[in-house]
Structure 1
Amino acid sequence: MRKLIALSLTAVALTLTSCSSDSPDDNGQNTALENAKSAFVDNYVNIVKASYDDALAKTQDLKTAIDAFVAAPDAGKFDAAKQAWLDAREPYGQTEGYRFYDGPIDGDGGEPEGYINAWPLDEALIDYVADGTGGQQGSDNRQNIVNNTAEYPTLSKTVLRDITGYNENESNVTLGYHAIEFLLWGQDSSAPADQMTGQRAFTDYTTADNADRRGQYLKLAAEILVEDLKSVVDQWEEGATYRKEFLALEKNDAIDKILTGVAKLSKGELAGERMTTAVKNQDQEDEHSCFSDNTHRDIYLNAQSINNIINGQYKKVDGTTISGTSLLDVLKLVSTEESAALEATAGTVMTKVQAISDAKFFDNQIIGETIDNISKPVMSAVSSLEKQGDELAQAGKTITGKNIDPRV
């Protein structure tokens, strides 16, 4: 009897020891996971800073090109300004995954993102359009800013900032990349099948009505864009208050923010607002960059923004790479199955958005597609992006225990 009791007690002791969180193996596993979480957050911050630095540098180049064009307008400088806009979009598109968690880009008031990348815009609020209406007539005549000298005798940063978002109308966009895009390319009134961008002539800045005011508007918009983007970059600088606060967060809280950003971009914003809406409405006005027809690159770059975090690396404009602990590295320590599934889905997403980028002219690609047919290229990519968003949300729950809603 005593022997049986002794054996039973020994078995209980062994069981308790094997289940204890204080066991050497568990301590090692927990330590590895916590170290990986910290390294992931650190690497994320480094990637954010590097990509915003690139975006700011290229946007400063855009401002320089615009200043040179406005000072002495000609066709060559006009083309150079448009190319500088396209170049600036390459790094900026890869910053979109840092949104949706009240970070420096879109805090409680939604600013300064609303001044940087707001869309779609009512282009007639800014300048003339093909039908000659000059904008929707409002009770206070806030329309056609370039040509409305009675309402806007003087153009200034304050005037342009005040009108953006006026009367809680999201299409009242006067600033940012897309306002500049419209001022450079003009309205794209061609049929999608024609595969043409907006056809604004450089003479709009030389001999057209209010040419000088148009140039002044363009310069102000570029100057404001640089200022607003720099205000975001500054908050991710070494020693900046927001950066220090972010790094000081409990790691699960920081990871929850990171994965909220990329999950919402993948499923809600990119797959939903930027792609499905255009397919549903069959309208090129729903393109993200409808004046320059650069939407195919927007889609690819936004997806790359998510992929950078999943794989823990960012390729800078100068060709060097920022890399470190990835989301996949952390997730693998908790669930190898989920990590493998997310890696496969992320690869599928990038293959499908690469095909969209290679085809160009997104407005032409959506012709004939329907939102219920995922066998076509655009909606097939949408389906993969939605799946990726759900898997990113699940990864957040698996790693941190927190729930993420990938919709926006």
Structure 2
Amino acid sequence: MNKNILTYLFAVLLVTVSCSSDNSDTVLDPNNSSTTILEIRKREFVSNYVAIVDASYNDALEKTIDLQNVINDFVASPSEVKFNNAKKAWLEAREPYGQTEGYRFYDGPIDGDGGEPEGYINAWPLDEALIDYVDSGTGGQQSSDNRQNIVNNTAEYPTLSKDVLREISGYDENESNVTLGYHAIEFLLWGQDTSVPADKIAGQRPFTDYTTADNADRRGLYLKLATEILVEDLKSVVDQWKEGGAYRKEFLALDNNSAIKNILTGIAKLSKGELAGERMTVAVENNNQEDEHSCFSDNTHRDIYLNAQSINNIIMGKYKKVDGSEISGTSLLDVLKLINLEESNALEITATLVMSKVKIISDTKFFDYQIMGETIDNTSKPVMSAVSSLEKQGDELAQAGKTITNSNIDPSV
């Protein structure tokens, strides 16, 4: 036979075999030898998850270092322009960090034993009365008497340092004494929001608090030190997840099912217990702007969207980096559809619905104003409608965990 004809027939045979063996809609029996394909997809999913975690934490660190540089410049020579630049840098730093919240709730390096370092990074609600002057206190160890707060109480806190601030924050002993992290910096930039929600304005701290006000230099030092601590704590997490990092090695050494159980525990709990519950339902139930996540800057609408995006990134297997490039690979849906196509399709529909609903919240802005017109028993309104879809997503993620790993995952926190 002609050599060219043989070559052609061989090529056709390869294409035929390839096409017939790559049927992504085929549901595999976990007890069948064909589960080798499933195990390959599981490992690809775990590896892609680690790549997304690494990239998003690096983005968060990079933007928080940018925030640190802007704050240092402001504190060195305060001006209203530099003050506004610091606020802008804080908002920009929150964008990538908000998309890291899905990596919590399974004792990883962000919130291992004792809740550290997350307790120093993103803990809330804040006890602003313990940090600086306020119109009314929030009930921490100190009273709302402005002489008792850290910035102005020079007798009890004569010297401010990173060690002193870490010790005062006392996260492990009393969660109400949160005085460090993104929200402490937020308060030091915006101040307490004393407006009514209908005004649709954030905190109005004047930049003169850092120039002519009492203890202006101490306030500036607190802001600078708190930001330095935040960068250090974020870097400690980045170092654990980077290539060659201790926790990354530990995580990748887990068997597929154990790693996937951790992943789905994190996003199921964030979806149903933390985001839908603590960060949204509680605020609606209390109709209190103090219960919103970023209550000083009125950036809670972005927190909600970005936290939901953190979950969606893992479901879809994609993360868009700050520089515009994309991490993409095997998704949760890719794995789930090999076992249960119906569950995979349902989760994809729910995940898409969640993002459409939280986008409405994000586009509307001023979460404190949005919650004033809602009650927890009315899911026809935007916030509680989003809550309902997030709860459904949490349950479906927990079920996906059972389907994939044959283990129990509780989506509540």
TM-score in same-fold range (> 0.5):
yes
Quickly say closer, same or farther: Cα 1:152–1:254, change in 2 above 3 A.
Answer: same
Going from structure 1 to structure 2, the CA distance change for 1:82 and 1:36 (only over 3 Å counts) comes to same
**Partner SS, residue 109 of structure 1:** helix
Match of residue 114 from structure 1: 119
8 Å CA contact 1:134, 1:143 repeated in 2: no
For residues 174-233 of structure 1, give each alpha carbon's deviation from its aligned partner in whole angstroms, at most 9, with x where no partner exists.
110000000000000000000010000000000000000000000000000000000000
Render the CA deviation track for 1:275-306: whole Å, top value 9, x for unaligned. 00000000000000000000000000000000
| Residue aligning to 2:312 | 307
- Whether the aligned pair in 2 keeps the contact of 1:310 and 1:328 (CA below 8 Å) is yes
Aligned equivalents of 1:397, 1:334: Cα separation in 2: 11
Q: Which residue of 2 is the match for residue 151 of structure 1?
A: 156
Q: Do structure 1's residue 258 and structure 2's residue 258 form an aligned pair?
A: no
* Shift in CA distance, 403/40, structure 1 to aligned 2, threshold 3 Å: same
- What CA distance in whole angstroms lies between the structure 1 residues aligned with 2:208 and 2:323? 35
Q: Tell me the CA shift for residue 168 of structure 1.
A: 2.9
- Give the CA RMSD over aligned residues: 1.9
Paired residue type of 2:387: V
Amino acid at match of 1:271: A
* Residue among 285, 289, 293 paired with 2:290: 285
Indicate how the Cα distance of structure 1 residues 24 and 377 shifts in structure 2: closer, same or farther if over 3 A, else same: closer
Q: Is the 8 A contact 1:93 1:298 kept in 2?
A: yes
SS in 1 for 2:115: coil
Q: Is the 8 A contact 2:190 2:205 kept in 1?
A: yes
Aligned pair partner of 2:76 in 65, 71, 74: 71
Letter in 2 for 1:70: V
One-letter amino acid matched to 1:214: R
Q: 1:41 to 1:136 in 2, by over 3 A?
A: closer
TM-fit CA distance, 1:31: 1.1
Structure 1 gap segments, 5+ residues each: 1-22
1:54 matched residue in structure 2: 59
What's the secondary structure of 2:327's corresponding residue? strand
State the partner residue of 2:234. 229
Which of 273, 278, 298 matches 1:268? 273
* 2:128–2:138 CA contact under 8 A, matched in 1: no
Match of 1:386 in 2: 391
> Given that residues 264 and 389 in structure 1 are in contact (C-alpha distance below 8 angstroms), is that contact kept between their aligned partners in structure 2?
yes
For the 8 Å contact 2:316–2:331, the answer to whether it is kept is: yes
**2:105 is equivalent to residue 88 of structure 1:** no
TM-score norm. by structure 1 comes to 0.91
Return the letter of the residue paired with 2:85.
A
SS at 1:105 equivalent: coil
Q: Do the aligned residues in 2 keep the contact of 1:125 with 1:142 (CA within 8 Å)?
A: no
Preserved CA contact (<8 Å) 2:130 2:142: no
Residue in structure 2 matched with residue 193 of structure 1 by the alignment: 198
| Partners of 2:127 and 2:138 within 8 A in 1 | no
Structure 1 counterpart of 2:133, which letter? Y
Q: Which amino acid aligns with 2:403?
A: T
Q: Answer yes or no: is 1:206 the counterpart of 2:211.
A: yes
Spell out, residue by residue over 1:338-397, the C-alpha distance to the aligned partner (whole angstroms, 9 max, x if none).
000000000000000000000000000001211011011000000000000000000000
For 1:281 and 1:25, the matched residues in 2 are separated by 47
Which moves more between the two structures, 158-167 or 369-378?
Answer: 158-167
Q: TM-score, normalised by structure 2?
A: 0.90
Superposition deviation, residue 171 in structure 1: 1.8
Structure-2 separation of matches of 1:30 and 1:38? 12
Q: 1:216 aligns with which of 198, 213, 221?
A: 221
> Does the aligned pair in 1 maintain the 2:29–2:339 contact within 8 Å?
no
Instruction: Judge conservation of contact 2:141–2:177 (CA < 8 Å) in 1.
Output: no
